[in-house]
Amino acid sequence: MTRQYFGTDGIRGTVGQSPITPDFVLRLAHAVGRVLKAQEAHPTVLIGKDTRISGYMLESALESGFNSAGVDVVLLGPVPTPAVAYLTRAQRASLGVVISASHNPFDDNGIKFFSAQGTKLSDAWELQVEAALTQEPVWATSADLGKTRRLNDAAGRYIEFCKSTFSNDLTLKGMKIVVDAAHGAAYQIAPKVFHELGADVIALGCAPDGLNINRGVGATHPQALMDAVLQHKADVGIALDGDADRLLMVDGSGRLFNGDELLYLMISERLARDEVVPGVVGTLMTNMAVEVALKAKGIEFVRAKVGDRYVLEVLHDKGWLLGGEGSGHLLALDKHTTGDGLISALQVLQACVGAQRTLAQLLSEVSLFPQTLINVRLQPGQDWQANTRLTAEWKAVEADLGEDGRVLIRASGTEPVVRVMVEARHAAQAQSCAERLANCLRS
């Protein structure tokens, strides 16, 4: 059975269009509730959300669906996605539910789930839910309906958890930090975390109105943060996305650092503390410079499919702790069970404060390889994998690059295009090689 509704990160779409409608979301919660009731007598689920205006509607639908199946609900209000993962585990709940479309614009929304252990759920569990969706609802009797309450101090509990991941021997006193919460789920929480650790905080993207999430700010629009850091003469800038599981950072010069660089810095800091790092997981898109630098330190590097879900799967298979992707989803599994933008930022700041060095100084040994990405739209019925000219040119380009670059060609999962990516030590070579390959597809 293939999944009809679940994608790589829950169920997501445009609000008001299937499946992000209140009637479907009610049925979804009822189906999930029935799956939970088959495993335990009195399940409890936690529901958190970001700041989209549609969150109110979807929260009510979820609450009704769960209650109708005899499942208790605890409402967390607007909190980051990783806060739901943490609180689900801390509260010994049966399941955590997040209403968010992450970095998407406000008119999208989605539903994603965390297990009782605060981890992403398996494909098998999602298939169980989809099977339950095909069945007629079984409404609980009045005496067996679920109840709902609100956890009023959810934000405070998560703030304390975040702070606990930062070294007790260090402080952020004397640092001026611009914190950009993308008008999203961390708009109240993120400034408090860094302020309570001693920093002078300038808040950006912390005034949500239900419609402005991710609009011109946050990790998907880092220019606003770069400008603010320079304007306020700050030491560092932190950009989160709408649900705060993604992180980009800016140094005092206004230079932007992506997830690949921040992951490498987190690894280097651990090595400096004589911690053993047996291996690291990136994705097919992770910059080759990071792989080269890690191998020079004797650390094994493995690439997973694009998406933090797949990075997490490989980390679990290998028994490793650290991984991530250039978009800013970073995983430190000894700190949290899922990717967390705030905790990742604290790990990076811990490295800077502990070494009394800037981001640029700590990353001086890693210079990212230039990447060229070209999207080539396919013609109806075009089988790009059967293109013999492309196959021959692909081999020729890889021979030209040798160990100083790489090629990645893959079909988009969302539109009829093939993505051609070439990475090389020099931008001109990356561009010319990518054009050679794209021309084969265009012809």
Clarify whether residues 23 and 140 are in a common domain: yes
Clarify whether residues 293 and 414 are in a common domain: no
Evaluate whether residue 4 is within a structural domain.
no
Residue 416 has pLDDT above 90, yes or no: no
Q: At which of 255, 279, 311 does a domain end? A: 255
Clarify whether residues 295 and 226 are in a common domain: no
- CATH number, position 269: 3.40.120.10
Clarify whether residues 15 and 118 are in a common domain: yes
The reported pLDDT for the residue numbered 136 is 96
Evaluate whether residue 2 is within a structural domain.
no
The reported pLDDT for the residue numbered 380 is 87
pTM value is 0.93
- What is the pLDDT confidence band of residue 1, given thresholds at 50, 70 and 90? low
pLDDT digits (tens, 9 = 90+) for 424-443: 999 999 999 999 999 999 97
Name the one residue in this structure whose structure tokens are 């934000």.
Answer: 155
Clarify whether residues 307 and 397 are in a common domain: no
Clarify whether residues 204 and 223 are in a common domain: yes
Catalytic: 68?
no
Evaluate whether residue 1 is within a structural domain.
no
The reported pLDDT for the residue numbered 307 is 85
Nearest in space to 127 (alpha carbons), one of 29, 1, 253: 1
- Contact in structure between 404 and 367 (CB atoms under 8 Å): no
Nearest in space to 201 (alpha carbons), one of 223, 228, 182: 228
Clarify whether residues 245 and 343 are in a common domain: no
Q: At which of 152, 168, 201 does a domain end? A: 152
Q: Average pLDDT in the 259-269 region? A: 97
The reported pLDDT for the residue numbered 415 is 76
Clarify whether residues 210 and 337 are in a common domain: no
Residue 279 has pLDDT above 90, yes or no: yes
Evaluate whether residue 81 is within a structural domain.
yes
The reported pLDDT for the residue numbered 309 is 87
- Contact in structure between 180 and 215 (CB atoms under 8 Å): no
Evaluate whether residue 91 is within a structural domain.
yes
- Contact in structure between 242 and 341 (CB atoms under 8 Å): no
The reported pLDDT for the residue numbered 77 is 98
Q: What is the mean pLDDT of the chain?
A: 96
Clarify whether residues 309 and 352 are in a common domain: yes
- The percent of residues in the chain predicted with pLDDT above 90, rounded, is 94
Which candidate in 54, 68, 100, 102 is catalytic?
A: 102
Rg (CA), the chain: 23
Token code pair at residue 39:
């495993």
Evaluate whether residue 3 is within a structural domain.
no
- CATH number, position 438: 3.30.310.50
pLDDT digits (tens, 9 = 90+) for 119-166: 999 889 999 999 999 999 999 999 999 999 999 999 999 999 999 999
Clarify whether residues 112 and 182 are in a common domain: no
Q: At which of 127, 152, 177 does a domain end? A: 152
State how many domains the chain has: 4
Evaluate whether residue 6 is within a structural domain.
no
- What is the pLDDT confidence band of residue 414, given thresholds at 50, 70 and 90? low
Range of the domain at 146: 11-152
The reported pLDDT for the residue numbered 205 is 98
Evaluate whether residue 232 is within a structural domain.
yes
Rounded to whole angstroms, the maximal C-alpha distance in the chain is 72
Nearest in space to 239 (alpha carbons), one of 341, 326, 361: 341
Clarify whether residues 174 and 191 are in a common domain: yes
Q: Average pLDDT in the 398-419 region? A: 89
Residue 284 has pLDDT above 80, yes or no: yes
Clarify whether residues 225 and 100 are in a common domain: no
Q: Average pLDDT in the 340-344 region? A: 98
